[in-house]
Amino acid sequence: MVKHMKMEKKSIETQENILNAARIIFAKKGLSGARMQEIADHAGINKALLHYYYRNKEKLFEQVFEEAFKKLIRPLGAFLTDDSELFQKIRNICKLYNEVLTKYPFIPNFVINEMNIDPSRILNLLDIGGVKEGKIKTAIQINEAIKTGMIRPIDPRELILNIISLSVFPFASRPISEQFLYKDEDMDEVLKSRADGVAEFIIQSIKI
Amino acid sequence: MVKHMKMEKKSIETQENILNAARIIFAKKGLSGARMQEIADHAGINKALLHYYYRNKEKLFEQVFEEAFKKLIRPLGAFLTDDSELFQKIRNICKLYNEVLTKYPFIPNFVINEMNIDPSRILNLLDIGGVKEGKIKTAIQINEAIKTGMIRPIDPRELILNIISLSVFPFASRPISEQFLYKDEDMDEVLKSRADGVAEFIIQSIKI
DNA sequence: ATCTAATTTAACCAAGTGGTTAAAAAAACC
DNA sequence: GGTTTTTTTAACCACTTGGTTAAATTAGAT
């Protein structure tokens, strides 16, 4: 990306291999637990080449983290800026989070944990996907729905946090939930088929 | 604990200091991110003494993890084995989790993350607090409540997972929720006052 | 005061870590 | 086939890390 004029085929493929390996290893072991050697092995290359493409561990991690963080926040932004009617919006975000997290199940745990270790990591990434304005907009919409008697009174932020909790936590807590709740079952299938139930659970809880 | 016949006052205090330091550092940085030197510093002692009381990092970590894991699972066990009527049970667990996690807010993230890195860590800790039998008992109770028309049809495990999600996720995801939902507010206060609302949210969603 | 346990000091070690380097080899490109 | 880029090899480095050791010091208990 930086020091080569011609971007050859093999080179791009290698960089993609590195990123894929980094995604897997970092998500599994975190920044401090991941080893550059392991990432190189997983990418099918050697350490020298890994450092040839990515200056250092921190830079590689930043790229992987930023990408994961966006994947986690964008559905929230999509929900908050969604113009649909409230109940439909709720169905939409449940479905969207379910799709995204089925595809990238390690993201919630990974992002939350690294943010916990170093909250400053997020500083360059505020206001992604229009969350800021969307939040205000959706809060107004919820308060309207309360006024018109469509839903019972509830703090908009509480409702939003409940929606996210129900959508995201089962993925983040998978190893625990699997052990204590869904032992011997296909947790992938369980999680995938949750989306509709979650949306109805939320709607039931607020509608009058 | 091991090599001394007399357990003097100072000794016990030091061991407690070590454990407290270990709880904080491990919860913040995880097993791989924590440094024995940092734990020693935080405990106000030196590395030699740290190793004098705790043979190695792994042993110290195991003790801290097991303790945290139990703190996280016991409320679930208490809920599942609770003899109260269903709605009261739900109010009880919401309140209990809120109290426990207000006191130990780092536990969810810590336990979930370390389980994600090494799921085998839990193997000696299965069936804590009567979760196993309690699960069956509560499932029966929920199915009864459905039959008698007290609540709408729902998979018992889905309901349980929803309860846990709503109770635990806001604590686990605090750095993110704070940033995007409750900016500039006292998140401690917000979390503390959530318990009642959460219980009603759940009850509203299932009652007929 | 004396004996024992708790703690410090300070040096040390082996293994692992992120990262570098230079030269050789392999592959892609024209 | 010659040039350029990609990749490997392999050695190397400085630093960190978990862990150890032995002797000296401090504090507690009786």
Tell me which residue in A109, A111, A155 faces B116 most closely, judged by beta carbons.
A109
A to B CB pairs, distance under 8 Å: 140
Q: Is the dihedral of CA A125, A126, A132, A138 positive or negative?
A: positive
| A38 contact residues in B (CB cutoff 8 A) | none
A49: Cα separation from own chain's centroid? 30
Give the integer Cα–Cα distance in Å for B97 and B101: 6
The residue of A104, A180, A202 whose CB has the most chain B CBs within 10 angstroms, and thus the best one to mutate to test that interface, is A180
Count each helix (H run) and each strand (E run) in chain B, helices first. 11, 0
d(CA A37, CA A35): 5
B49-65, pLDDT tens digit by residue? 999 999 999 999 999 99
pLDDT of A4 over the 90 cut:
no
Query: Between the CA of B30 and the C1' of C7, what is the distance in angstroms?
Result: 28
Share of chain B above pLDDT 90, in %: 88
Q: Which of A122, A172, A205 sits opposite B179 (nearest CB)?
A: A122
Residue B111 token pair? 């336990």
Q: What percent of chain A has pLDDT over 70?
A: 95
The confidence score (pLDDT) of residue A54 equals 96
Residue with more model confidence, A94 or B126: A94
User: Could you tell me which of B113, B105, B101, B106 has the C-alpha nearest to residue B28?
Assistant: B106
Structure-derived torsion over alpha carbons of residues A7, A8, A12, A15, reported in degrees to the nearest 10: -80
Report pLDDT digits (tens) over A6-57.
Answer: 445 678 899 999 999 999 999 999 999 999 999 999 999 999 999 999 999 9
Distance CA A147, CA A81 (A): 21
SS3 A11: helix
How far apart are the two ends of chain A, measured CA to CA in Å? 56
pLDDT at A2: 34
Tokens coding A49: 């080449």
Question: What's the half-sphere exposure (Cβ side, CA atoms, 13 Å) at B102?
Answer: 15
Contact B30 A28 (CB under 8 A): no
pLDDT of residue A161: 98
Q: What are the structure tokens assigned to A58, written together? A: 């921190």
Q: Is B11 on the interface with A (CB under 8 A)?
A: no
List CB contacts of B74: < 8 A, sequence separation 6 or more: B128, B129
Amino acid at A147: K
Q: How far is the CA of A174 from the C1' of C14 (A)?
A: 38
Contact assessment for residue A105 and residue A130, using Cβ atoms and an 8 Å cutoff = no
Rg, chain B, Cα only: 20
Tell me, yes or no, if B135 comes closer than 8 A to chain A by beta carbon. yes
Hey, are the CB atoms on B164 and A173 less than 8 Å from each other? yes
Our measurement of the distance from residue A93's CA atom to the centroid of its chain's CA atoms, rounded to an integer in Å, reads 13
Domains of chain A (ranges, CATH numbers): 1-55 (1.10.10.60), 65-205 (1.10.357.10)
Please check the confidence at residue B2 and state whether its pLDDT lies above 70: no
pLDDT, position B183: 86
B155–A contact, CB cutoff 8 A: yes
Q: What is the CA radius of gyration of chain A?
A: 20
Which tens digits make up the pLDDT trace of A52-85? 999 999 999 999 999 999 999 999 999 999 999 9
Candidate from B160, B168, B194 with C-beta closest to A169: B168
The token pair at B107 is 């536990």
Res B7 pLDDT > 50: no
Residues in contact with strand D, defined as Cβ under 7 Å from any of its atoms: A 4-8, 10-11, 13-14, 44-49, 52; B 8-10, 34-37, 47-48, 51-52, 55-58
Burial of B171 from C-beta contacts in 10 A (0-12 / 13-18 / 19+): buried
| B23-36 pLDDT per residue, tens | 999 999 999 999 99
Long-range contacts of A11-17 (CB under 8 A, 24+ apart): A14/A43, A14/A45, A14/A49, A14/A53, A15/A53, A17/A43, A17/A44, A17/A45
SS3 B84: coil
Is B164 within 8 Å of A169 when comparing Cβ atoms? yes
Nucleotide nearest to A46 (CA to C1'): D8
Instruction: Give the closest-approach CA distance of B119 to chain A in angstroms.
Output: 7
pLDDT at B153: 97
**Burial grade of B170 (CB within 10 A; 0-12, 13-18, 19 or more):** buried
Contacts of A76 in chain B (CB under 8 A): 180
Residues 6 or more apart from A179 whose CB is under 8 A from it? B119, B122, B126
Taking C1' of C8 and every protein CA, the nearest residue is: B46
Amino acid symbol at A71: K
Residue range B148-197, pLDDT digits in tens = 999 999 999 999 999 999 999 999 999 999 999 998 888 999 999 999 99
Q: How far is CA B15 from CA A9, A26, A130, B61, B63, in A?
A: 59, 34, 50, 14, 12
CB contact under 8 A, A197 and B158: yes
pLDDT of residue B8: 54
B85-141 residue pLDDT tens: 999 999 999 999 999 999 999 999 999 999 999 999 999 898 888 999 999 999 999
The pLDDT of A146-165, averaged and rounded, is 98
Closest-approach residue (CA) in chain B for A110: B113
The answer to whether A177 contacts B161, with C-beta atoms less than 8 Å apart, is: yes
- Is pLDDT at B9 greater than 80 in this prediction? no
Out of B30, B168, B175, whose CB is closest to A32? Answer: B30
Q: Which of residues 45-84 of A touch B (CB under 8 A)?
A: 72-73, 76
A158 touches chain B (CB under 8 A): yes
Confidence band, pLDDT 50/70/90 cuts, at residue B42: very high
3-state SS assignment for residue A34: coil
Tokens of B32: 């791989």
